[in-house]
Structures are given as structure tokens and as C-alpha cells.
Amino acid sequence: MIQSQEKPDRVLVRVRDLTIQKADEVVWVRARVHTSRAKGKQCFLVLRQQQFNVQALVAVGDHASKQMVKFAANINKESIVDVEGVVRKVNQKIGSCTQQDVELHVQKIYVISLAEPRLPLQLDDAVRPEAEGEEEGRATVNQDTRLDNRVIDLRTSTSQAVFRLQSGICHLFRETLINKGFVEIQTPKIISAASEGGANVFTVSYFKNNAYLAQSPQLYKQMCICADFEKVFCIGPVFRAEDSNTHRHLTEFVGLDIEMAFNYHYHEVMEEIADTMVQIFKGLQERFQTEIQTVNKQFPCEPFKFLEPTLRLEYCEALAMLREAGVEMGDEDDLSTPNEKLLGHLVKEKYDTDFYILDKYPLAVRPFYTMPDPRNPKQSNSYDMFMRGEEILSGAQRIHDPQLLTERALHHGIDLEKIKAYIDSFCFGAPPHAGGGIGLERVTMLFLGLHNVRQTSMFPRDPKRLTP
């Protein structure tokens, strides 16, 4: 085990930087031993560092003895080593490595941290496409095994790519909104009443009283608008006590939330949010092609398509498309998950886009703080946004008149005393405003064409999983 010591003269080089340009240089590399294979008087190692790997050769000669070759061949997989070696250009590309044009001729090797000899899963099995495993009868790793051993699973090239791209989504979200003049805020996650006025909340003991984990930063975003911040956003955890064991539901997820005052029409906000999503999509395609291609190797998928400006359909138009396809729905019925997916296919066929907005939802299916449509009392000034036929954002114009807000809360059976501070926020002048909340894990999943949100949650929480 390496202990703290004075900084050595050598500089460690990243595996991704081992290219032809460094040919014949002596370098130091710290990496994990991915595989080792002894062959006569030499040993081939594959050294892995995040999603990049390089072949290393330990051969008997001036710099390596037989004992060193034997030592290298017996280093346990996933151990961390420091290696000194010469970068050599190879005559034939090494197809199994990301660094295909060079290999490292090892002169010295030190074990920094030795892994246990028996691994709970093999990383090569964990990145094997399921179709390939079924056809060739080779092992793959199921989801529960991955999640039970998440630290190992996160080392795979696919997982590394997924979460680096997810980090990029947060960065692009923040970068885009700051450039648009938004202010980042932080909101409380322990609250006195259910955010959405519903029952799907986690109750926690709060000294001599009960409190709740926030289902949304919604109410606090609105308070900030009333406090004249005009345009705000936040990134933080959201909690939903829903006993939903589906491919797209989690009990804790990361919310990307936006709220904004507008001048004339709530579409100003809706279009700003849509443009933010478009800037994220463009940024991912421009900056994260390596990660997208890495994920596609294991999970093949068509490239994500979107339009500028974003396609907007009204709810009644969506109903007409679904009814034409044989679906029976009432004018005030909410979309079921199968109907969302079907609508996504219909939109893709007709408009060739994976991203679109559905506007003017029935008032009956929206939360109490949603502004009714002044021209049609059965409709609301609300919208959802979809990726590949699944909802990733729910938003609306909020009621900013305290009297109307009180009426709508009573209509939904909400105890006014529990939301008194919220309603009082609008009693001293509140600008018209709107916003929405986005699920980070869903956006990642759907952009990459994955099939389960647990693949894009680093340590997922659902009704059946509370560890690791």
C-alpha cells in the first residue's frame, strides 16, 4: 500500500494521451490491470484508466527478469499499478484497446493497491451487448448484480461514458441558463407540507413534529419570482414516495428546475425552456461523441433527432392523432404511458423528431397551482415535453393571484393552513410567471436510447432498493 510521501520527479501520463505522438518516450502511467496473459517469456497486460485502455508488454530482457514477468502475470484484475515504460508504435492496430496504434513496453511495475482475487462480476461481461451474449452463449450481467456491486459496474467503459455525459447535461443546463440571465438558487428539501398537495410524500421526524421531503422545489422557485429574481433555476434532489416499479420511476432523482417571469404570454417561458433543451442536445452531440459512441457499442440506438424551433402540438391535436390510430380517449383524460409511447412514434413518423412539446393540457389532470386557460375553462396553460415518446418535463403558467390560488387549493382538497406561507407570497404583488421541472436521469436515458432509468442513476433509489 502506498503511503503519503514527497512528490516524486516523475509525472504520470493519462492513458488517453498515449498516442503515436509519444512514440519512443519513457512515461509513467497509473491504471488498473484489466487483463493479464502470460505467453512464454512475456506477459501482455491491458491497463485501463476510466474508459481508455492500452496494451502493455512485459518481456524478459534488459529491463525485466523472468520473475518480473511472472509477477506481472499474477497481479489480480482491477489492482491499481504504477508502470514505467516506453511508448512503442505497433505495426498492426490493437482492436481490443482504445489506444490502438501504440503499446507500452514495461520497464518497472509497482502495485499501488491490490484487488481481491475473486471479483463479483467481470467487466468484459458487463459491457457485452445482450444480443451478442444470447447469440454466442457468452455471459452478460443482469441489472441487480450490477446495482449490488455498483462500484465495480461504474468502472465499465459504458458506465463511465453514461455518467460523464450526464455531467455534461448538468454543465450545459447551467451554462445555457446563466448565459440567458438566470440566477441559480438552492431550495429546502425538508418542508412543512406536501409540495404538490398530494399523498406521495416521505414523512420524516422533525423534532416534535412531522416534516416532509420535497417532491419539488416548485413553491420556492415561485417565491423567488415574487422576490423579483425574475429568472431562476436549481439543480437538486427530488423525492417521490410512489410505489412504482417501472423502467422510468425512481423515489429519488435529480431535478433540473426552471422558473421565469414573463411579459405577455406563458409561451415566452415554454420557448425558453425548449431552447435550453435544444442547446443541451446540440452541446452533447458536439462535445460528447466519444461517450455516445461508447454507449452505442453496448446499447445500439438511432441518433437523437430534434427540430429548431421545437415542434409544439396542442393536447387536442395529440388526441386526434391517437384517435386516428384507434385509441379511445376522453377530452379530459390524461395520457397513459402506452399512449405516450404511441404518440411519440406517431410524431416521429409525421415530423421526424424525437423531441416535442404538448401544450394546453386538461385542467382536471394538473396540480392546483396551474393557471386555467382564460378562453377555455376545461383547459390549462400547461405543457409537457417529451423525448422518444416519454415525458421528461412537466410545466405550466402558475396562478399568481392569491384569491384564485385559494379557490383552486380548496377545489383540490388541500389544507389552506399548510400552504399559508405559499399563498401569502402572492399577496404583495406577484408577476405572471411559468416554469417546469426536468428529470436528469430520464433525459440521460432517453437521449442515449437506454431502456431503464436505473442505468442512468449512479446509486438508484426505488421502492425495492435503498443500498448501496
Q: 301-356: per-residue pLDDT in tens?
A: 999 999 999 999 999 999 999 999 999 999 999 999 999 999 999 999 999 999 99
Write down the residue that cell numbers 534488459 correspond to.
62
Please give the pLDDT value at position 2.
Answer: 54
Q: Is pLDDT of 112 > 60?
A: yes
Please give the pLDDT value at position 9.
Answer: 65
Task: Give me the catalytic one of 34, 128, 408, 442.
Answer: 442
Q: In this structure, are strands 183-184 and 231-239 parallel, antiparallel, or unpaired?
A: parallel
In the chain, % of residues over pLDDT 70: 97
Judgement on whether residues 318 and 371 belong to the same structural domain of the protein: yes
Question: Rg for the chain (alpha carbons), in Å?
Answer: 27
Judgement on whether residues 106 and 134 belong to the same structural domain of the protein: no
- For residue 249, indicate whether it is catalytic: yes
Task: Give me the catalytic one of 240, 388, 398, 400.
Answer: 240
Q: Is pLDDT of 75 > 70?
A: yes
135: burial class by Cβ within 10 Å (0-12, 13-18, 19+)? exposed
Question: CA 61: distance to chain centroid?
Answer: 48
Helix axes 157-179, 440-448, angle to 10 degrees: 120
Q: Which of 71-80, 89-98, 123-132, 236-245 has the lowest mean pLDDT?
A: 123-132
The C-alpha cell at 142 is 443482469
Q: What is the mean pLDDT of residues 128-155?
A: 89
Q: Is pLDDT of 198 > 90?
A: no
Q: What is the mean pLDDT of residues 431-449?
A: 98
Write down the residue that cell numbers 509513467 correspond to.
28
Q: What is the pLDDT of residues 5-20, one digit of tens each?
A: 555 567 899 999 999 8
Strand partners, 184: 233
Judgement on whether residues 54 and 103 belong to the same structural domain of the protein: yes
CATH of the domain at 58: 2.40.50.140
Judgement on whether residues 340 and 392 belong to the same structural domain of the protein: yes
Distance separating alpha carbons of residues 106 and 69, to the nearest angstrom: 10
Of 47, 81, 113, which one is at a domain's C-terminal end? Answer: 113
Judgement on whether residues 269 and 177 belong to the same structural domain of the protein: yes
Non-local (6+) Cβ contacts of 455 within 8 A are 143, 162, 445
Please give the pLDDT value at position 324.
Answer: 96
Judgement on whether residues 324 and 376 belong to the same structural domain of the protein: yes
Helix axes 267-287, 289-298, angle to 10 degrees: 80
Please give the pLDDT value at position 415.
Answer: 87
Task: Give me the catalytic one of 380, 394, 425, 457.
Answer: 394
- Domain residues for the domain of 346 are 158-455
Non-local (6+) Cβ contacts of 7 within 8 A are none
Judgement on whether residues 128 and 162 belong to the same structural domain of the protein: no
**Are 45 and 85 a contacting pair, CB within 8 Å?**
no
Helix axes 289-298, 157-179, angle to 10 degrees: 140
Q: Is pLDDT of 135 > 90?
A: no
**Are 340 and 391 a contacting pair, CB within 8 Å?**
yes
Judgement on whether residues 85 and 107 belong to the same structural domain of the protein: yes
Higher pLDDT, 263 or 39: 263
Judgement on whether residues 149 and 173 belong to the same structural domain of the protein: no
Judgement on whether residues 149 and 231 belong to the same structural domain of the protein: no
Please give the pLDDT value at position 195.
Answer: 57
Does residue 463 belong to any structural domain of this protein? no
Judgement on whether residues 232 and 344 belong to the same structural domain of the protein: yes
Distance separating alpha carbons of residues 198 and 462, to the nearest angstrom: 19
Q: Is pLDDT of 116 > 60?
A: yes
Does residue 70 belong to any structural domain of this protein? yes
Does residue 211 belong to any structural domain of this protein? yes
- For residue 32, indicate whether it is catalytic: no
- For residue 265, indicate whether it is catalytic: no
Task: Give me the catalytic one of 103, 259, 340, 391.
Answer: 391
Task: Give me the catalytic one of 84, 175, 230, 242.
Answer: 242
Q: What is the mean pLDDT of residues 173-181?
A: 98
Q: What is the DSSP letter of 449?
A: T
Does residue 238 belong to any structural domain of this protein? yes
Please give the pLDDT value at position 235.
Answer: 98
Please give the pLDDT value at position 8.
Answer: 59
433: burial class by Cβ within 10 Å (0-12, 13-18, 19+)? buried
Neighbours of 25 (CB within 10 A): 12
Does residue 330 belong to any structural domain of this protein? yes
Judgement on whether residues 83 and 138 belong to the same structural domain of the protein: no
- For residue 242, indicate whether it is catalytic: yes
Task: Give me the catalytic one of 34, 128, 248, 388.
Answer: 248
Does residue 416 belong to any structural domain of this protein? yes
Please give the pLDDT value at position 10.
Answer: 72
Task: Give me the catalytic one of 249, 267, 287, 312.
Answer: 249
- The count of structural domains within the chain is 3
Does residue 109 belong to any structural domain of this protein? yes
In the chain, % of residues over pLDDT 90: 88
Q: What is the DSSP letter of 370?
A: B
At residue 132 the predicted structure's pLDDT band, cuts being 50, 70 and 90, is: confident
At residue 4 the predicted structure's pLDDT band, cuts being 50, 70 and 90, is: low
Please give the pLDDT value at position 228.
Answer: 97
Q: What is the mean pLDDT of residues 170-195?
A: 93
- For residue 171, indicate whether it is catalytic: no
- For residue 240, indicate whether it is catalytic: yes
The C-alpha cell at 92 is 498492426
Does residue 465 belong to any structural domain of this protein? no
Q: What is the pLDDT of residues 365-420, one digit of tens each?
A: 998 999 999 999 999 999 999 999 999 999 999 999 999 999 999 999 888 887 88
Non-local (6+) Cβ contacts of 102 within 8 A are 18, 19, 20, 22, 23, 54, 87, 88, 89, 90
